[in-house]
Amino acid sequence: MAIPAKINRNTKHDLAVIGIRLLDDAHTTWVAAAVESEHALRAWFDADPPQGAAAYITYRAALDREEAAADDLQRLRELTQPYQESLARRQ
């Protein structure tokens, strides 16, 4: 059973703040994934031939995580754009 929510000006502001926090978290996640990807790439380059294949697979997995994090960040940026503008006008 859904409970109707009364949305007022304060609720909209609170939602905007939550959206911006989610965007910040997504950015932090992407930065961490980018660093992990860079480290995995360096490990692949530095790997001896016997470990090269495993290092490459590790790098590709890290690259996939970075790409997913970048996609999430971009989508959240698009979704929170109106909230960012709203908060900027309010300050």
pLDDT at 16: 84
Tell me if 91 is assigned to some domain.
no
pLDDT confidence tier of residue 67, bands split at 50, 70 and 90: very high
pLDDT confidence tier of residue 35, bands split at 50, 70 and 90: very high
Tell me if 1 is assigned to some domain.
no
Question: How far, in Å, CA of 26 to CA of 7, rounded?
Answer: 26
Q: How many domains does the chain have?
A: 1
Q: Which residue has the higher pLDDT, 91 or 29?
A: 29
Q: Which residue has the higher pLDDT, 10 or 17?
A: 17
Among the listed ranges 7-11, 36-40, 60-64, which one has the minimum average pLDDT value?
A: 7-11
Tell me if 4 is assigned to some domain.
no
* Domain span at 79: 9-86
pLDDT at 4: 54
For the entire predicted model, the pTM comes to 0.79
Question: How far, in Å, CA of 71 to CA of 21, rounded?
Answer: 17
